[in-house]
Each structure stands twice: as structure tokens, then as C-alpha cells.
């Protein structure tokens, strides 16, 4: 089955640990992961990983994508450099294509007004409140939240973030999705057998 690529935004200071579970298992499920940067010039993660973006943000089209993933980064809170990525998220959501944002990217979406009318979460409520956004009453104290095509999560929840992505795209469902989460979040060895059985039958 042919799937449209998943676009992973990359930019200087991006948090390289926050999206690894999601991208690894999306790739295993047959999705091409395409990195999108401010330009095609290399960027460096917080951990010092150098990444050559496959494409520039301006070239990313919602109609050619399954999902836009926005990781956290120091730059979300120290400059307006990443505002174009929040605007691209609006373009995706307006087109009915999902967006997944974690950590500092949630603040970027808050500043863009994308959390004003959707249930959402982040690191803590007062982190988003500092942006001056209008969606405080819709903040949910949860590991990850999905509302109308937008997934949000805090920096300590990369596994829950991935779980919501898999659920939204139909990569895993039901007891298999639950088993994947229990294995990687809770180190539940019994969950591995469920995944092995599902993979063997799939």
C-alpha cells in the first residue's frame, strides 16, 4: 500500500529524542520520513546531530503529506525563527492533514492561535499561558492529547506522543497499540508477545 510521506521538521536546537519512537515505527510501517528544514542547509540538534534536510519548508505541501511532526527546540522560545513552521502547521490543519507537536512546538502553535479552540497539552499549563494565547481553558493535564487532527504532548512523553500518532494514522490499533505503549513506556515484557503475534499475522 502506497502512503504519502511523513514530514519531520528539523531546525537548529531541535530536540532529537522527542520524535525517535514515532519516526522509527512509522518507517517500519512503510512511511517515508522526509526531513524539512528552514532551507536545505544542514541543521544541528540539541544533541549535536547534523541533519541535511531533504527539502525546504516552503516546498512542503499538505496534499503531498500524511503528517507534519514538529519537535521541540530552544528556538521556539528564544526567537521568531520557527514561526514559519507554525504557519505551515496552520496550512496543514486547514487542509485536513494532521499535525503533531511536542514540547516547545506547542508554544509555537499557541502563539499561532492553533490551540485556542482545540483540546491540547504541553509541559505544564503555565508554560503555554506565558505565550498569551487564548486557549487556557482547553488545556488538558495528560501525557498526550489529540483533537481534530492535532496531537500535542510535553517533552517527557515521546512514547505517548508516538502512540497518538500511530492511533491517528491507523498504524496500530486496539490491543496492539496498547501493547506497543506498554512495552516502550512501562517496559512490560508481556506486551512484546502481543506485538510479535501481531507482526507474525500481519
> Which of 103, 165, 169, 179 is an active site residue?
103
Pairing of strands 50-51, 55-56: unpaired
- 55 catalytically annotated: no
Residues with catalytic annotation?
103
Amino acid at each position: 500500500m502506497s502512503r504519502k510521506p511523513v514530514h519531520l521538521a528539523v531546525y537548529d536546537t531541535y530536540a532529537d529524542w522527542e520524535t525517535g519512537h514515532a519516526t522509527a515505527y512509522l518507517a517500519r510501517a512503510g512511511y517515508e520520513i522526509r526531513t524539512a528544514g528552514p532551507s536545505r542547509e544542514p541543521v544541528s540538534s540539541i544533541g549535536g546531530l547534523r541533519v541535511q534536510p531533504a527539502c525546504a519548508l516552503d516546498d512542503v505541501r499538505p496534499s503531498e503529506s500524511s503528517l507534519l511532526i514538529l519537535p521541540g527546540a530552544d528556538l521556539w522560545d528564544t526567537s521568531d525563527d520557527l514561526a514559519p513552521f507554525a504557519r505551515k502547521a496552520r496550512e496543514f490543519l486547514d487542509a485536513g492533514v494532521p499535525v503533531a507537536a511536542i514540547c516547545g512546538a506547542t508554544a509555537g502553535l499557541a502563539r499561532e492561535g492553533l490551540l485556542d479552540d482545540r483540546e491540547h497539552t504541553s509541559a505544564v499549563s503555565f508554560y503555554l499561558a506565558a505565550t498569551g494565547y487564548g486557549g487556557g481553558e482547553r488545556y488538558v493535564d495528560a501525557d498526550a492529547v489529540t483533537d481534530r487532527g492535532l496531537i500535542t504532548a510535553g517533552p517527557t512523553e515521546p512514547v505517548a506522543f508516538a502512540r497518538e500518532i500511530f492511533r491517528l494514522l491507523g498504524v496500530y490499533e486496539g490491543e496492539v497499540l496498547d501493547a506497543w505503549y506498554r512495552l516502550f513506556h512501562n517496559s512490560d515484557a508481556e506486551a512484546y508477545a502481543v506485538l510479535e503475534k501481531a507482526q507474525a499475522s500481519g
